[in-house]
């Protein structure tokens, strides 16, 4: 799981989004849905960790995590 979080964080840092990665891998249908769900879950975990490191709480944390996940997923 740590490797996946590191991958997601690295992909996010490089600007690659879950949507772009799925497109690059030419995923479609159930495979794309599964990949996107996992990628979004990994992004949320990574963003929650980043929020904790920044000592964010309440509305500031929620706002940060929401934007972080949206940026990582590419919605």
| Model pLDDT for residues 23-70, shown as the tens digit of each residue | 999 999 999 999 999 999 999 999 999 999 999 999 999 999 999 999
Q: Which residue shows structure tokens 């769900």?
A: 37
| Class of residue 14 by CB neighbours under 10 A (exposed 0-12, middle 13-18, buried 19+) | exposed
Residue 3's pLDDT is 43
Note the pLDDT tens digit of each residue in 7-33: 444 444 456 899 999 999 999 999 999
The whole-model pTM stands at 0.75
Ranges of each domain in the chain: 2-73
């Amino acid at each position: 799981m740590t490797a996946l979080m590191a991958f997601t964080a690295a992909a996010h840092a490089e600007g690659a989004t879950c949507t772009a990665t799925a497109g690059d891998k030419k995923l479609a249908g159930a495979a794309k849905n599964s990949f996107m769900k996992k990628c979004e879950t990994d992004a949320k975990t990574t963003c929650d960790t980043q929020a904790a490191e920044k000592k964010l709480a309440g509305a500031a944390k929620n706002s940060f995590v929401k934007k972080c996940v949206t940026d990582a997923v590419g919605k």
